[in-house]
């Protein structure tokens, strides 16, 4: 256990030899900014004022020579070698009601959603609280570095379930898709600030592209379970390439025919009845235009899609605090 002090603050927290500075801070309810947790976004950058750290992922995409010269490190990758003092701007928005915990979990169910998306259910003992939209870090045998996957279910079910898209040649997804029932792995979570905001009064737009399906399904289920759909509409847009990527809308739970509308946008194939042709953001823009800013918007998916949605939302004047997303890498 190592003590981490924060410059100009009376707060300290401890970080054990298997943890990182960001994750240890969040476990201690210290609000350190972050998004991806895998070294790719750079949101967790801090300045090392005193002490030594090393990075888990030496080739982290968000870390550069310039950072090293300025003694800046990534909280999600930095492991202290002894007592440290660090400098960053604490932000209590990063503290959520369920501080992340590490637990052993057992794979108890597998079900195929599409030809390349599979749902994995992991059960574990103890508290399973999280907010719909949050993710966990899964450590897999033989895989260097934990990967982030978002829960698709709701808390209180005694398990966390994940809808995971197989990446051709992917190291972690290769291992995951070969896992057998009963396998035990380590799961650390929950993380993320891109969770359902039940107190916001606006209608909801959810946009899921490929690997981003899971958190949007959890948010849709969470909104229905919390009774939000009695007063709000929920528009679920699912972006995919072709027919064989389509999902069954009953996955979302709730009243599909009433307050939830489900629209599939196909980018590479001519749409048939009940579907739309085009990229996800183009279809949403065509449907809402200036009315986008009257909605609470959640989205998840690959970086190119996320960038296109952010641009569209910015141009439509959607305030940043109505946009909820994690950087997916």
Ligand X SMILES: Cc1cc2nc3c(=O)[nH]c(=O)nc-3n(C[C@H](O)[C@H](O)[C@H](O)COP(=O)(O)OP(=O)(O)OC[C@H]3O[C@@H](n4cnc5c(N)ncnc54)[C@H](O)[C@@H]3O)c2cc1C
Residues that bind ligand FES (CB under 6 A): 34-37, 39-44, 62, 74-76
Minimum distance of ligand FES from residue 145's CB (angstroms): 12
Q: Are 264 and 289 in contact (CB under 8 A)?
A: no
Within residues 195-224, the interface with ligand X by CB under 6 A covers 211, 214
> In Å, what is the CA distance from 319 to each residue of 60, 95, 313, 324?
31, 22, 8, 11
Q: Of these partners, ligand X, ligand FES, none, which one is at the site of residue 129 (CB under 5 to 8 Å by kind)?
A: none
Q: Are 6 and 90 in contact (CB under 8 A)?
A: yes
Q: Does 148 bind ligand X (CB under 6 A)?
A: yes
Q: Does 40 bind ligand X (CB under 6 A)?
A: yes
Give the β-pairing of 147-150 and 135-139: antiparallel
What is the C-alpha separation between 121 and 45, in angstroms, rounded?
33
Minimum distance of ligand X from residue 259's CB (angstroms): 25
Minimum distance of ligand X from residue 274's CB (angstroms): 25
Minimum distance of ligand FES from residue 45's CB (angstroms): 8
Cα four-point dihedral sign 76, 109, 251, 245: positive
Tell the burial category of 163 from Cβ atoms under 10 Å away from its Cβ (0-12, 13-18, 19+).
buried
Binds ligand X by CB under 6 A, chosen from 99, 129, 145, 198: 145
Residue 327 tokens, joined: 């950087």
* DSSP result, 35-71: SSSSSSS-TTEEEEEES-EEESSTT-TT--HHHHHTT
Q: Of these partners, ligand X, ligand FES, none, which one is at the site of residue 57 (CB under 5 to 8 Å by kind)?
A: ligand X
Stretch that binds ligand X, among 157-165, 221-229, 242-250, 280-288 (CB under 6 A): 157-165
Q: Does 165 bind ligand X (CB under 6 A)?
A: yes
Q: Does 27 bind ligand X (CB under 6 A)?
A: no
Q: Does 328 bind ligand X (CB under 6 A)?
A: yes
Residue 322 tokens, joined: 């109505």
Binds ligand X by CB under 6 A, chosen from 25, 172, 292, 323: 172
What is the C-alpha separation between 274 and 255, in angstroms, rounded?
17
Q: Does 36 bind ligand X (CB under 6 A)?
A: yes
What is the C-alpha separation between 82 and 50, in angstroms, rounded?
10
- Tell me whether the omega of the peptide bond preceding residue 190 falls within 30 degrees of 0, making it cis: yes
Q: Of these partners, ligand X, ligand FES, none, which one is at the site of residue 159 (CB under 5 to 8 Å by kind)?
A: none
Q: Does 33 bind ligand X (CB under 6 A)?
A: no
Cβ closest to ligand FES, residue 76 vs residue 213: 76
Which strand (E) or helix (H) includes residue 22? Answer: helix 21-27
Q: Of these partners, ligand X, ligand FES, none, which one is at the site of residue 167 (CB under 5 to 8 Å by kind)?
A: ligand X
Minimum distance of ligand X from residue 264's CB (angstroms): 18
Residues contributing to the site for ligand X (CB under 6 A): 36, 38, 40, 57, 135, 144-145, 147-150, 162, 164-165, 167, 170-173, 211, 214, 326, 328-329
């Amino acid at each position: 256990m190592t003590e981490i002090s924060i410059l100009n603050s009376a707060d300290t927290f401890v970080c054990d030899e298997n943890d990182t500075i960001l994750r240890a801070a969040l476990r201690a309810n210290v609000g350190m900014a972050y998004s991806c947790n895998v070294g790719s976004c750079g949101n967790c950058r801090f300045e090392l004022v005193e002490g030594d750290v090393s990075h888990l992922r030496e080739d982290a995409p968000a870390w550069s020579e310039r950072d090293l010269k300025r003694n800046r490190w990534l909280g999600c990758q930095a492991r202290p070698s002894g007592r440290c003092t660090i400098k960053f701007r604490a932000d209590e928005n990063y503290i959520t009601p369920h501080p992340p915990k590490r637990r052993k979990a057992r794979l108890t169910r597998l079900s195929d959603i599409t030809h390349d998306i599979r749902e994995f259910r992991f059960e574990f003992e103890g508290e399973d609280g999280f907010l719909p939209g949050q993710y966990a870090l899964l450590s897999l045998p033989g895989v260097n570095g934990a990967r982030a996957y978002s829960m698709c279910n709701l808390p209180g079910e005694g398990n966390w379930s994940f809808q995971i898209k197989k990446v051709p040649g992917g190291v972690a997804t290769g291992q995951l898709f070969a896992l057998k029932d009963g396998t035990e792995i380590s799961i650390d979570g929950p993380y993320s600030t891109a969770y359902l905001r039940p107190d916001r009064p606006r209608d909801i737009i959810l946009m899921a592209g490929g690997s981003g399906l899971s958190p949007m399904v959890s948010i849709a289920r969470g909104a229905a379970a919390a009774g939000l759909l009695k007063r709000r509409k929920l528009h679920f847009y699912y972006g995919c390439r072709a027919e064989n990527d389509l999902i069954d809308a009953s996955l979302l739970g709730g009243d599909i025919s009433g307050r939830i509308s489900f629209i599939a946008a196909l980018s590479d194939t001519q749409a048939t009845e009940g579907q739309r042709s085009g990229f996800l953001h183009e279809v949403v823009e065509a449907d809402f235009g200036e009315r986008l800013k009257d909605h609470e918007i959640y989205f998840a998916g690959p970086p190119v899609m996320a960038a296109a949605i952010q641009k569209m939302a910015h141009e439509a004047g959607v305030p940043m605090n109505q946009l909820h997303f994690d950087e997916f890498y």
